[in-house]
Amino acid sequence: MRTPSGDPLVGERYEVEVGPVAHGGGHCVARHEGRVLFVRHALPGERVVAEVTEGTTTSRFLRADAVEVLEPSKDRIAAPCPFSGPGKCGGCDWQHVTPGGQRKLKGQVLTEQLAKLAGLTPAEAGWDGSVEPIGGKLPAGEVPAWRTRVQYTVDPSTDRVGLRKHRSHDVQPIDRCLIAAEGITELGIESRPWPGVAAVEAVAATGSSDRQVILRPVPGAQLPLVELDQPVSISRVDEQDLFHRVHGRTFVRERAAGRTWRVSDGGFWQIHPQAPDILVDAVLDGLDPQWGEMALDLYCGVGLFAGALADRVGEEGAVLGIESGKQAVLDARHNLAALENVRIECDRVESLLPRTGITATDLIVLDPPRSGAGRETVAHLVGLSARRIAYVACDPAALARDLAFFREGGYRPVSLRAFDLFPMTHHFECVAILEPIAG
């Protein structure tokens, strides 16, 4: 790692006017003597005292925390969580913002990324400009307990769990995470010591009573005898990232989209309990699958969208799912074993799709990782002449970039929806529906 040049500015304080929200990290843009500061714990339009947390006299930009608010925004509230604030937990970006203010910030980020990377206005993207609240609008100061998967770090000096501080390996000890789902809180992970353990992941399934705790031991240490406040399955992860059963099942059973889904070894599943149904409904509404059609489900995970598509295209249709995670593929094949019109293949999408020999399809759904699909994959997809494509995205910048690639290939977004599936954080989820450009 290269050592930064110049004299360090960490700890310096500047009084600044806060500008617009920026993409990623929950920070806003400010300037001091011509230099950009990315300031957390601030809001657009505020005047704050910003304390530098990263940067030197030669840095192109500085990172900072708002440590004193001189002129607050009307969207500012007192953070409900005692572990939120400068120098504390890095998990929640916007505990200090009203729920409506959070959605407004997310909408501003998406608007800016669409303009910057795709050259699209909200109207041109088929978006009404709103970020849709989940489960109704919350009053200011109320924190929804939505997160069904929480990764704790163990502080080796105390053997107690905590959460990482922002852009740091340091641990913020906590006695409760306010956004953790009830099933997580009930386990009592924060109330006991974890000697010999480096990290603890807790999973609380939706629609079943399944709970799972995954332990990552300190190298060479012996795992402690684990006694928690609720029945739970326990696994451990070794130094090669291989999973081993300690007690109970190696999976949890999730309920969504009319099915029960096996998700093994802490595998990917949407962490908001309502997210799977909301996203499936948005994809199906946008694609409008018809009996007998052919569909692709790319980056298919444990098969959520493939199963929903298979029900709609029926026995005369077919669905091909592609997923690179071996355990996820095994789970998807298990979950969809009763559907003869579904096939799941294991490989990277960009590697396998060209080898399938498929030259055309009716529908495509893709739910890529945060980095997006990329130019090469998009170029292949537009050559398949799908009548509609559903793009599920967790990163607005990657989505906007890929929408530009799709437009180069002759596809345009006809609708775009944004969902506030990660309250108190800067994250949100989008579903874009694309069609061929007429003429």
**What residue ranges define each of the domains in the chain, with the CATH number in brackets?**
13-73 (2.40.50.140), 107-136+272-436 (3.40.50.150), 149-253 (2.40.50)
Q: What is the pLDDT of residue 2?
A: 59
- CA-to-CA distance for 108 and 102, rounded, in angstroms? 10
- CA-to-CA distance for 429 and 417, rounded, in angstroms? 8
Residue 299 marked ligand-binding? yes
Structure tokens at 136: 């109704």
How far the first Cα of the chain sits from its last, in Å, is 52
Question: What tens digit of pLDDT does each residue of 163-202 get?
Answer: 999 999 999 999 999 999 999 999 999 999 999 999 999 9
| 134: Cα within 13 Å, side-chain hemisphere | 23
- CA-to-CA distance for 170 and 154, rounded, in angstroms? 10
Active-site residue set: 394
In order of 100, 148, 317, 388, the CA distances from 411 in angstroms are 33, 36, 24, 9
Residue 270 marked ligand-binding? yes
Residue 323 marked ligand-binding? yes
Mean residue pLDDT across the chain: 96
Residue 65 marked ligand-binding? no
* Strand pairing category for 294-298 and 318-323: parallel
Q: What is the pLDDT of residue 329?
A: 98
Q: How far from the centroid of its chain's Cα atoms is residue 279's Cα?
A: 13
Tell me which of 79 and 24 has the higher pLDDT.
79
Instruction: Name the strand (E) or helix (H) holding 436.
Output: strand 429-436
Angle between helices 396-408 and 375-382 (to 10 degrees): 50
Answer whether residue 1 shows pLDDT above 60.
no
Note if the pTM is more than 0.85.
yes
Please check whether residue 65 is in contact with residue 41, taking contact to mean a CB–CB distance below 8 angstroms: yes
